[in-house]
Amino acid sequence: MSSHQSFFTSTVGSKLLVAVTGLAMFGFLILHLIGNLTLYLGPDTFNHYGHKLISNPLVYPAEAGLIAIFVLHVWKTIRLTLISRSARPERYRVKKSAGYTTRKSLASTTMIVSGLFLLVFVPLHVATFKFGAYYATAADTTVRDLYRLVVEIFSRPGYVVFYVVSMIVVGFHLWHGISSSAQTLGADTPTITPRIRVFGWVMAIVIGGGFLTIPLWLFFFGGRS
């Protein structure tokens, strides 16, 4: 086994991989949100955006890369969690505060739960929208009417509730994940750490909240501006 292989299978190397892949998916979510928000500009704009995206020949290697990043992130996180739990006997798991301020929060203590939830949500989400019903636009039959598909899906109360809950879970996962990843990569000082935690909290609200506004707007207003 090479030194590179042994490093990335070690605990330290695994934590770095979790951090890097997590930040990569954070960047993807920003771009994905920007694209989804074109829904507010109407069917033509959203369908044009969707057509340009899926007709780009680079979309397939990009999707393959995202899948690899997602799988690696999940695999390494689960492995680290199992290693951590096996290394801490039951009698050492509950520790009282010794005069320091703990960094634990609801988001940090539920990371594995929110992660497992998203492991179920992501494939369902992709199957629903990417491989959902195909409609062609009236103006150009070569352009998929994704706007119609999205409106139809978010006309179902059950899916709207499921999606909104999922975006809240995304927000919780980002809340701790962003700051944790940055700290793993070395951004952990008394000055920088509080700012990173605030940044993670703000981005969690912006991204999770940005996504969940879409189904609510479509469901209650039917996509009308």
CB 143: neighbour CB atoms within 10 A?
19
What pLDDT, on the 0 to 100 scale, is given for residue 189? 80
Max CA-CA distance within the chain?
68
pTM of the model: 0.86
Q: Is residue 37 part of a domain?
A: yes
Of the candidates 121, 93, 101, 87, the one whose C-alpha atom is nearest the C-alpha of residue 11 is 87
For 159-182, what is each residue's pLDDT tens digit? 999 999 999 999 999 998 998 898
Q: What is the pLDDT, as a whole number, of residue 112?
A: 84
Q: Exposed e or buried b for every residue in 145-160, given b needs 16+ CB within 10 A? A: bbbbbbbebbeeeebb
In a domain, residue 169? The reply is yes
User: pLDDT per position in the chain (225 positions), as tens?
Assistant: 555 567 667 888 889 999 999 999 999 999 999 999 999 999 999 999 999 999 999 999 999 999 999 999 999 988 888 887 776 655 444 444 444 445 566 666 778 888 889 999 999 999 999 999 999 998 888 899 999 999 999 999 999 999 999 999 999 999 989 988 988 888 878 888 889 999 999 999 999 999 999 999 999 987 654
pLDDT at site 100 = 42
Domain membership of residue 114 (yes or no) is: yes
- Number of domains into which the chain is organized: 1
37: containing domain: 3-89+103-221
Within a domain: 180:
yes
The pLDDT value recorded for residue 134 is 93
Is 16 a domain residue? yes
CATH of the domain at 45: 1.20.1300.10
* Measured distance CA(26)–CA(200) in Å, rounded: 10
pLDDT of residue 222: 79
Residue 116 in any domain: the answer is yes
Angle between helices 146-153 and 111-129 (to 10 degrees): 130
Tell me, what's the pLDDT at 6?
73
Domain-located, residue 98? no
What is the distance between the alpha carbons of residues 136 and 139, in angstroms, rounded to a whole number?
A: 9
- From residue 169, alpha-carbon distances to 50, 70, 134, 160, 221 in Å are 26, 16, 29, 14, 24
CA gap 181, 190 in Å, rounded: 16
**Do residues 49 and 97 touch, judged by C-beta distance below 8 A?**
no
| Domain assignment of residue 130, yes or no | yes
